[in-house]
Amino acid sequence: GQQVMQIPQYQHVQEGEDFTTYCNSSTTLSNIQWYKQRPGGHPVFLIQLVKSGEVKKQKRLTFQFGEAKKNSSLHITATQTTDVGTYFCVSLQGAQKLVFGQGTRLTINP
């Protein structure tokens, strides 16, 4: 099955700094979803990207889908302590199987 690599595995920032996590695939993705999981919590759906070159924004979060639909990124501007958690990209393998990337754990120094 297709492999999606997510980097970095960990990121520690000072509050107010920006943060970016990347997902890269060797094959074309039909779509990509992003989820956030707070410590001790469950994954929460953030966004789904479908179109080549798509860019979507949610307040301080910017999501991009590459032109070749082989990579995606999530960028957070001016992080806040509420952004702490693990961010997962999720790709579709076959018709129904969603596969989670390894995740990027974000910690923030207030």
Partner 1 sequence: DTEVTQTPKHLVMGMTNKKSLKCEQHMGHRAMYWYKQKAKKPPELMFVYSYEKLSINESVPSRFSPECPNSSLLNLHLHALQPEDSALYLCASSQVAAGPQHFGDGTRLSIL
List of residues contacting partner 1 (CB under 8 A): 33, 35, 41-45, 48, 88, 92, 95-103, 105
CB of 102 to partner 1, least distance (A): 6
Closer by beta carbon to partner 1, 73 or else 77: 73
Minimum distance, C-beta of residue 12 to partner 1, in the bound complex (Å) = 15
Q: What is the dihedral of CA 10, 14, 19, 21, to 10 degrees?
A: 0
For the CA atoms of 57, 59, 61, 67, the dihedral, rounded to the nearest 10 degrees, stands at 10
14 vs 39, beta carbon nearer partner 1 = 39
Q: Give the other-Cβ count within 10 Å of 105's Cβ.
A: 17
Minimal distance in Å, beta carbon 82 to partner 1?
Answer: 18
Shorter beta-carbon distance to partner 1: residue 59 or 97: 97
> Cα(77)–Cα(63) distance, rounded to whole angstroms?
12
